Amino acid sequence: MPTFRIAIVGAGPAGYFAAQALQNAATESQSFAIDMIERLPTPWGLVRSGVAPDHPKIKTVSKVFEKIATAGNFRLFANVELGTDITTADLVEKYDAVVIATGSSLGRKLGIPGEDLPGSLSAAEFVPWYNAHPDFKNVDIPVDCDTAVVIGAGNVAMDVARMLALEPSELDTTDTADHAIEVLRKSSIRKVILCARRGPEHAAFTSPELRELPKLEHTNVVMSKAEIESALARVGDSPEKDVKNNLAAMELIANQDSTTHDRTMEFEFFLAPIEIRGKDRVEEIVLGINKIVDGKIVATGETKTIKCGLVISAIGYEAEPIEGVPYIKGKVVNTDGRIEGTNMYTVGWAKRGPSGVIGTNKSDASDVVKLLIADLPAQPKNNGDIIDLLKDHQIVTQSHWEQINAAEVSKGEPLGKPRVKAVDRHELLRLGGL
Ligand code: NAP
């Protein structure tokens, strides 16, 4: 029976679901040997370094990942970077097919004056910082101000705003990075304003996330009742299901009794960033006030200035290019996941851009794997093992990772946390016994 060797680059949800689709597609006449390559010493991608720590339920999908990893015919090569430790050309030569599942890790830029001032940063830095990503440990987050502004109306903006507006003790039982808890404990920020450039009916939030906000125990969540009523009037009787659910969730927030906690998270609509100002650091942000005319968003020409010491933009992501892989507009160039003229494929955010929840990657990967299998030649290649190219390299294999995982979990146990994450690469390797 032929066994085809498939490399999956990137150990996030899209990569694991591609592996699962291959495992499910194995038959008596063909099977697949899967090698998953990951540049960090730890797998799980955004489930480890993206999902907000106060959303532990979402992270339970990691159990599925571990089942895939231990189902046989699967090897993990973590701490191996494509482009540095091995090349795309090596993989293309050695494997029958290569699946690029490297996601989108670069934050989109606002492209406005002042964006590079200290105190202005992207969610692509802030989120991995609080999630203990080794490359973001030293990001400077100025929290010695009373107001922070978050730009964007998607779930990442909501995560960022919530993390800044929470009472830090609420993070004590989470796997938030220790360094982040320490900084957030000292934070003087008491008001976080999330600015959307369009109306409530256009927001990219999802309703389960909105419905959680009224449950915050130590934070006032403020949304204008009049704003939501106007949005409801604009969409009329038959809005799309998602819009209807979102507006219903927003109505609950807007109608709830006002609270008098120290901390406030406020939603503002129809505000588009124009300029971030400050002498040596962020001191204020100027936003253009928008309105709707004939269903279109237009600038009124008026502006609003918000004094703040921190601005975080959460306006989407772009893929970080890998040598030997074609990119256009922040995504891998592909047709339905095929990278034409090669034995490479792409799945997840690298393929379709930064959209969808974790589960979206399952059907997406399954569709691409169908194409991959249909394209396979009759016989597998026999071009040697990738291990031959990584002889002196410290590879974090599945069993090393299991040691890291167990060490983090047992460190968390006495503290009532799901785990205490190691942040430093050397420490992670040490925990893995390397
Ligand atoms: P997103 O959902 O695409 O939202 C991006 C937001 O940025 C939109 O509101 C967009 O507004 C705004 N924006 C874009 N360019 C802008 C600009 N120049 N100025 C002002 N605003 C701008 O992206 P995301 O929040 O990064 O999330 C990515 C994906 O991950 C989404 O599918 C999300 O649902 C998912 N996610 C899910 C969870 C969860 O399930 N809990 C958590 C985090 C992320 P316009 O609409 O006006 O363009």
pLDDT in tens, 6-57: 999 999 999 999 999 999 999 999 999 999 999 999 999 999 999 999 999 9
CA distance 57 to 431: 25
In this structure, the chain runs to a length of 434
Q: Say what angle helices 225-235 and 241-255 make with each other, to 10 degrees.
A: 160
Ligand 1, atom 19, lies closest to the CA of: 272
pLDDT in tens, 348-392: 999 999 999 999 999 999 999 999 999 999 999 999 999 999 999
pLDDT of residue 4: 98
Distance of CA 155 from the midpoint of ligand 1 (Å) = 6
CA distance 244 to 24: 37
Q: Give the confidence band of 238 by pLDDT, cuts at 50, 70, 90.
A: confident
Element (H, E) at 30: none
Question: What's the pTM value of the predicted model, to 2 decimals?
Answer: 0.97
pLDDT in tens, 51-98: 999 999 999 999 999 999 999 899 999 999 999 999 999 999 999 999
The residues, any chain, with a CB within 8 Å of residue 116's CB and separated by 6 or more, are: none
> Residue 434, exposed/middle/buried by CB under 10 A (0-12, 13-18, 19+)?
middle
Measured from CB, residues less than 6 Å from any atom of ligand 1 are 55, 110, 151-157, 159, 196-198, 202, 204, 206, 209, 272-273, 314-316, 354-357
pLDDT in tens, 394-420: 999 999 999 999 999 999 999 999 999
pLDDT surpasses 90 at 239: no
What ligand 1 atom has the least distance to the C-alpha of 315? 7
Instruction: For the chain, give the percent of residues with pLDDT over 70.
Output: 100
Q: Roughly how many angstroms between the first and final C-alpha of the chain, as a whole number?
A: 36
From residue 338, give the alpha-carbon distance in Å to each of 91, 92, 125, 328, 344: 16, 14, 30, 14, 7
DSSP code per residue over 356-421: S-TTHHHHHHHHHHHHHHHH--SS------GGGGGTTS--B-HHHHHHHHHHHHHHHGGGT-S---
Residue with tokens 């204020």: 284
pLDDT of residue 237: 86
Question: CB–CB of 151/247 below 8 Å?
Answer: no
Q: What is the mean pLDDT of residues 240-267?
A: 96
pLDDT of residue 262: 97
